[in-house]
Amino acid sequence: MAELKSLDEWRPVIAMIAVDLAFAIVNILLKEVLDEGMNHLVLITYRLSISTVFLAPIGYFWERNNRPKLTLRVLCYLFFSSIVGSSLTQYFFLVGIKYTSATYSCAFINMVPVITFMMALPFGLETLNLKSNSGRAKMLGTVVCIGGAFLLILYKGTPLINYSHSQAATGIHGAGYQAKPS
């Protein structure tokens, strides 16, 4: 009985590790596909179409008794949510993975809850009570995630300006400058 209880306690940890492993594999495969030259928008269209085919029937049958009426306002909410929440997010993710590595994408995907939390604070959807343990945990988690992102950026990020010592010695348009033929 004690072994069964111990296994139940470890199930969330095992599930979290399995999900992270799946994300890592997907990110590595995405990096390979993008390196082969696949268009970002085509890849996003495939991903969203396949997920719609699999998830729409589940959502339809699971929520058919308690879903709201499909009004124009709800359709507008769904449209803007899909543009910002799915399409644009995936596009920026794929652009980022093209210029970095799958390791960076795995690390920076953990910033999504932080950004969501920081957006929910001003709108009053989330509260931050620093006197309670949950409030301190939220704040600590936010600081740790942002600190980790800054550490990755500052440790081994892509330079914003490609400035080498040879350009400094001759000047950008100095004697050593040769224009590349078109």
Query: Can you give the pLDDT at residue 128?
Result: 82
Angle at 36 between CA 33 and CA 39, to 5 degrees: 70
Is it the case that residue 129 has pLDDT exceeding 50?
Answer: yes
**b/e per residue, 71-90, with b = 16+ CB within 10 A?**
eeeeeeeeeeeeeeeeeeeb
User: Residues 51-101: pLDDT tens digits?
Assistant: 889 998 998 888 888 877 888 998 888 888 888 878 888 888 888 777 777
| pLDDT of res. 163 | 56
pTM: 0.56
The tens digit of pLDDT for each residue in 10-52 reads: 888 899 899 888 988 888 888 888 888 888 889 888 988 998 8
